[in-house]
Chains A and B, each alone.
Chain A
Amino acid sequence: MSEPTVTEKEFNIDTVEHASTTPDTDLPWAALGLKSDEYDRIVKILGRRPTAAELAMYSVMWSEHCSYKSSKVHLRQFGEKVTEEMKKDLMVGIGENAGVTNLGDGWAVTFKIESHNHPSFVEPYQGAATGVGGIVRDIISMGARPVAVMDPLRFGDIDHPDTKRVLPGVVSGIGGYGNSLGLPNIGGEVVFDSVYQDNPLVNALAVGVMRHEDIRLANASGVGNKVVLFGARTGGDGIGGASVLASESFDDSKPSKRPAVQVGDPFAEKVLIECCLELFHAELVEGIQDLGAAGISCATSELASNGEGGMHVELTKVLLRDPTLTPGEILMSESQERMMAVVTPANAAEFERVMAKWEVEYSWLGEVTDTGRLIIEWDGETIVDVDPRTVAHDGPVYERPYHRPEWQDALQADTFRSSAAGANLPGTAQELGGAVVDLMTSPNMADVSWITDQFDRFVGGNTALSQPDDSGVIRVDEETGLGVGLSTDANARYAYLDPYAGAQLALAESYRNVATSGAIPMAVSDCLNFGSPEDPEVMWQFAEAVRGLADGCQELGVPVTGGNVSLYNQTAGRAIHPTPVVGVLGKFDDVARRTPSGFERWADGQAIYLLGTTGDELDGSEFARGRDHLGGLPPKVDLKAEKMLGEILINASRDGMIDAAHDLSEGGLAAGLAEMALRFGVGARVAVDGICERDGVDPFTALFSESQARALVALPRSEELRFTDMTSARGFPALRIGVVDASSGDLEVAGPYQGGSFTLGLDELREAWSAVIPSRFATLGEATEAIRQEK
């Protein structure tokens, strides 16, 4: 197949020279998402009107998605509120493709969460797939081998017809892409809420590991070094995706801008991973950057401005899938599975050898200069001549107005107890038992294995824990067992009631999950999903959430190492609940010490302890959700208690005192007990009398309150004394509430209520619990069922 030569292309090239002589030409800056003052600023920076290609670059790089123009002034707190102590293990901070944390023994770990929300609504399979692809390339760009992924997912109402379109597509997209990369999927979240009906949240986390010497940064250094683009060819997919698709709401009043979702090729990405690792290993690249949002515009301007400050590129050298693309389209295309690297002339031949081995296409685009200008030519004519910093870093920064919504007071005054939903609460043994079943078979507490069984959790042979345990655990060093634990959490209902507290509660839960599995929390990555920043009430939610998260990280001593902001998650003026998803990464000296989240069969007779105290905190709870109530104040945040609980759980794991641990969060003690029993189908006999007596709460509250800083643990009787010595030395409340009972297959809960106790058969509970999701997203088609019957 012969390439059309440049001269065969039929379009006018808007050169810099041409732009200088035609100052009055109208450009479609508004259609590209720029505001008039932003356009004026570009003209001022350049001292002339931009060329079409320059306009394309500025428009994508100055979009909300790429420039963080609305969020920047708030995000600064993540840097400002970091102490020296918190920085001690931080090797690369915010600002690079992903932060890097020192794991010790010469190992480093990098992780990050990103969103791919809007594309996943438009085209669920490709949107979710390319979300995985994008975050994995960020990890590769740091020089790391990606070792696992996780997916925090939020969908509309489980029974809404559109959820049946979105969820199966998203799930198979994540599986189709992630499984093909050989990355175990080790956890995530699945939440259903009608607030996400037209704005599902598809966030993706990737984690990678590397030796210290392998850390790579995105900068173009060394004048005369060559710039190379490699991987997939550049096509017409995702053009304008960055500025248009990912930043504008799907408001019916605006023209549809939907057909711009990128298309993924996981095979190309897998080859790219191995090929990049071979390049790193042989020390063949000086700087590297993945091509994500804003494609070549982003890669060239960021590489150049982070390095010597100049770059010279010939755009006709870009290999194309679609030969009709214009220069502006080539600059904006978000075709997947591409990387840009800087290579010394001496290494060029060896670089080409590696490309040939992996059969990866590449083209040399130009070189690094010290001119301080990013010059892009089209067949020898200059079409871009800019200071790359003005594109990559000096985008607009907005101090968006914000204020506390007027309805916030009324919302917070509408407590569960004072509402109609808070009347007629279950009180007898029978009613409470029924309420536990109702809770566990509600969409948000149901078994998600229909979803997670579509993901490979084994590949790599280093997965020590994965869903449904509290965190995903990956071994990094086979010799020593050194490894990491990861969890992602958010409770948007809490954040809606109080965004400051809600963000801290997300952090607290993620921190608690990591500690519950035995890892020492080290670093945070966040994905902040909110509505439109142009709405002052949404902006207030955002500002409060960021402030809460930054303060919380400071108090817990874990730095934010990177993350992502997704705004404009709203349709027809209706915003999602503020959803600050927080990922915490922790460290294990030896992952063999990881603590599973359920009672194992051999643990018969072990003692079950509840750590922490229970208050009357039903506002925003899962129980309240079951009665369609959302109001009041979220559970109280107590980060000192969280930290102490974490220490107890980590020490207990390290010293081999406990054999199971599970944090209490959504659904409270009731859900915690049920999940621990369902994990391996091993029952328990428990009594809540002691909780009611000590904490002065009724049995219903003991079971369903969502008070924070609590966890359940199971331990051999021989360890009880040592364990309670440890908790009492710290003054942390620990109460023995029951024993593991492997013989009965039941969860029996006694308490000071009529009937004395209720018993839930685990087989029966499992059947109902695990049917909730498959029953909605029909597994086998009728035809397949018929064939099976025949066989």
Chain B
Amino acid sequence: MSTETPLIGDFHAAPAANPLGGARIGVVTFPGTLDDRDAARAVRLGGGTAVPLWHADESLQNVDAIVLPGGFSYGDYLRAGAIARFAPMMNKIIAAATAASGTRLPVLGICNGFQMLTESHLLPGSMVKNDHLKFLCRDQVLRVENTSTPWTSQFTEDELIAVPLKNQDGQYLADPATLEALEAEGRVVFRYVGENPNGSRNGIAGVTNETHNVVGLMPHPEHAVEAGYGPDDATGMRSGTDGLTIFTSVIASLAGGAQ
């Protein structure tokens, strides 16, 4: 069953015609997902083809990578991501992302998607309510500390990027041993710059798994892909498009063959 996303931000807009358009990136919609159309737009603007996937389906439709977009799946009424994690589609994704042989599927979880990845144990740690107990929406500067993942390959090491942050449960927690391992192995991919917006341990905004194909990120790169609709940056109001590099990175990584 395909996902209908009528009107604004139509998933099914004509696929971008470009040499890299062959990269098919699945965007999964769960009940309560909010940023699926935005993620699909980001894939399209990055040069790929967005493939809408429905949480209850079992086929990955031969996609080359997966984005788990943000939102409030199942209302976040249990722990954020805790119910979505058991969707049939998630089982397929977990299997493909951890395949013992062949290429492991690149997976990006944004916000609620990141929470699903920690709930699925594809990524370590967990997210709890922001330490100030409020939803917070603002432009956020991040430092990209790991450029070896397929999602960050086009950034330069320690590059500063601006993307919107907007969440209620964005405080990243992990036990000291895990934090130490993440730091030692260079698996902190994104770190908050400036005031810690939610009390996350070590200012962590995003991490990757041991094989670097799975990345979770709390802020929203898909909202920083189009001038006029992104965060403010040096060139003007809402002009920031730093998030687009995440999508061009994965498409380039896929086109360039296995990492």
Contacts and interface: CB of A to CB of B under 8 A. Distances in A.
A428 to B, nearest CB: 36
Interface in B195-211: 196, 199
Contacts of A680: 232, 237
Contacts of A454: 134-137
A365 to B, nearest CB: 25
Interface in B117-169: 131-138, 164, 166, 168
Contacts of A697: none
A209 B8 CA distance: 8
Contacts of B238: 464
Contact of B199 (A175, A463, A787): A787
Interface stretch (A63-71, A263-271, A503-511, A714-722): A263-271
Contact of A464 (B164, B223, B229): B229
A706 interface: no
Interface string B11-23: 0010000000000
A592 B229 CA distance: 10
A788 interface: yes
A368 to B, nearest CB: 27
Contact of B6 (A277, A358, A476): A277
A780 B131 contact: yes
A461 interface: yes
Interface in A585-608: 591-592, 596, 600-602
Interface residues of A, number: 56
Contact of A460 (B1, B37, B56): B37
Interface in A254-293: 265-268, 270-271, 274, 277-278, 280-281
B200 to A, nearest CB: 10
Contact of A458 (B8, B134, B137): B137
B88 interface: no
A407 B248 CA distance: 69
B104 interface: no
A791 interface: yes
Contacts of B34: 180-182, 270, 459
A478 interface: yes
A281 B134 contact: no
Given A267-B32, A359-B31, A464-B238, A180 B72 contact: yes
B226 A461 contact: yes
Contacts of B235: 602
Nearest to A280: B6
Contact of A176 (B31, B56, B135, B229): B135
Contacts of B41: 461, 478
A625 interface: no
A101 interface: no
A301 B51 CA distance: 44
B176 interface: no
Interface string B65-96: 00000011011110000000000000000000
B8 A145 contact: yes
Interface in A653-709: 680
Nearest to B227: A592
B38 interface: yes
Contact of A270 (B32, B77, B220, B232): B32
Secondary structure of the B contact surface, majority rule: loop
A791 B199 contact: yes
B242 interface: no
Given A211-B7, A456-B166, A461-B37, A267 B72 contact: yes
A287 B134 CA distance: 39
Contacts of A176: 135
A772 B6 CA distance: 43
A242 B71 CA distance: 32
Contact of A210 (B7, B77, B220): B7
Contact of B229 (A268, A278, A461): A461
Contacts of A267: 31-32, 72, 74-75, 77
Given A182-B34, A265-B75, A464 B6 contact: no
Contact of A461 (B31, B32, B38, B136): B38
Nearest to A267: B75
Interface string A356-394: 011100000000000000000000000000000000000
Contacts of A172: 134-135
Contacts of B13: 478
A305 interface: no
A219 B75 CA distance: 32
B223 A458 contact: yes
B155 to A, nearest CB: 21
Contacts of A182: 34-35, 71
A38 to B, nearest CB: 41
Nearest to A454: B135
A278 B199 CA distance: 40
Q: Identify which of A274, A455, A600 gathers the most chain B CB atoms within 10 Å of its CB.
A: A274
Contact of A453 (B37, B137, B225): B137
A2 interface: no
Q: Identify which of A271, A460, A780 gathers the most chain B CB atoms within 10 Å of its CB.
A: A460
B75 A266 contact: yes
Contacts of A475: 229
A460 B6 contact: no
Given A270-B32, A478-B9, A780-B132, A277 B4 contact: yes
A650 B251 CA distance: 41
Contacts of B135: 172, 175-176, 179, 454-456
A118 interface: no
A108 to B, nearest CB: 11
B137 A787 contact: no
Q: Identify which of A278, A459, A791 gathers the most chain B CB atoms within 10 Å of its CB.
A: A459
Interface in A126-160: 145, 147
A528 to B, nearest CB: 31
Contacts of A592: 228
Interface string B184-225: 000000000000100100000000000000000000101101
A477 to B, nearest CB: 8
B102 interface: no
A784 interface: yes
A271 B138 contact: no
A464 B227 CA distance: 10
A350 to B, nearest CB: 13
Interface in A758-791: 779-781, 784, 787-788, 791
Contacts of A596: 237
Given A182-B35, A267-B77, A456-B166, A462 B236 contact: no
A430 B75 CA distance: 54
B1 A357 contact: yes
A116 interface: no
A457 interface: yes
Nearest to A598: B237
Given A270-B34, A461-B41, A147 B228 contact: no
B232 to A, nearest CB: 8
A458 B6 contact: no
A277 B9 CA distance: 14
Contacts of B6: 145, 277-278, 280-281
Nearest to B222: A461
Contacts of A461: 9, 37-38, 41, 222-223, 225-226, 229
Q: What are the 7 A-B residue pairs with the smallest beta carbon separation, nearest first?
A: A267-B75, A182-B34, A458-B223, A461-B38, A180-B72, A145-B7, A458-B164
7 contacts: A179-B166, A209-B8, A280-B6, A460-B8, A592-B228, A601-B236, A780-B132
Given A459-B35, A478-B41, A791-B199, 11 more contacts: A145-B6, A145-B7, A145-B8, A176-B135, A180-B34, A458-B166, A461-B226, A463-B229, A464-B228, A476-B8, A601-B234
Interface of B: 1, 4, 6-9, 13, 31-32, 34-35, 37-38, 41, 56, 71-72, 74-77, 131-138, 164, 166, 168, 196, 199, 220, 222-223, 225-226, 228-229, 232, 234-238
